[in-house]
Amino acid sequence: MQRDAFLQRVSEAVARGNRHRPAVQREKIVPGAGYVGLGGDDPCEVMAREIAQVGGIAHRAADDEAAREVLRQLIAQHEVRRALCWQHPVLQELQLAALLESLGVELLDPEQLASLPEDQRRQQMLEADLGISSTTWAIAETGTLALVATPTTPRTASLLPPVHVAIVRRSQIIPDLFDFFEQLAGHGDEIPSNVTLITGPSKTGDLELRLVTGVHGPGQWHVVLVDEPTTPESTNR
């Protein structure tokens, strides 16, 4: 490839990548400002908009029953037979185990997988059609999920299956990355073994600067944004 043609392709790729920028309230910009936060009064709306911008699919749900209906549709659409799932309060409140059982979907959770020999455990995880998680925090500014790995919330659920669905309550959404680092610093005395930041489906541009989706992780990324918690305790995560 000639040098000029190669540089032109690089410039075009950079321009495409620069199209997405977090929205700002420009009227608040003052001389010397280092950062201008994301505008918008509805965190679910901001989160949904940014998720769409980075190639994900956001689903608004008014309550838990609406969220369950979204899951039913996604499970039918992708012909899911086996789901790799977190053990998490949000999913328990959603009655996820009962929902999957009613749909004939085998649920794989950390407790069940831990009882299997290592080779069987690995094979079961690799054969999962769908990964279902919640999130530790959701960052509205960039449409990002921040997932802290624990024994009951493993990163495999969001990385191995070809489709990942995250159930996110309004109370889990924080405005921006500055808030994320503050939350992470206050997460406890122990540093998490892994924090995964997910912004859109898996992408790579390694081969000739061509964007390819789903090579190193899920090719489809769905986030179900639940407007209202089921119980007051749901808001204290």
Asked if residue 210 belongs to a domain, the reply is: yes
Asked if residue 27 belongs to a domain, the reply is: no
State the residue for tokens 């493993």: 154
- Angle (CA) 95-46-93 rounded to 5° is 10
Question: How many domains does the chain contain in total?
Answer: 1
Asked if residue 34 belongs to a domain, the reply is: no
Q: Is the pTM of this model over 0.85?
A: no
> What's residue 12's pLDDT?
72
Structure tokens that stand for 183 in this block: 């939350």
> What's residue 235's pLDDT?
39
d(CA 175, CA 37): 8
At 130, which CATH number?
3.40.50.10420
Structure tokens that stand for 157 in this block: 């659920």
CA distances to 78, 107, 178 from 123, rounded to whole Å, are 20, 14, 39
Domain range for 142: 43-228
Structure tokens that stand for 2 in this block: 């000639």
d(CA 56, CA 93): 24
Asked if residue 179 belongs to a domain, the reply is: yes
pLDDT along the chain (237 residues), means of 10: 70 60 50 50 90 94 97 97 97 97 96 93 95 96 93 93 96 89 76 87 67 71 85 45
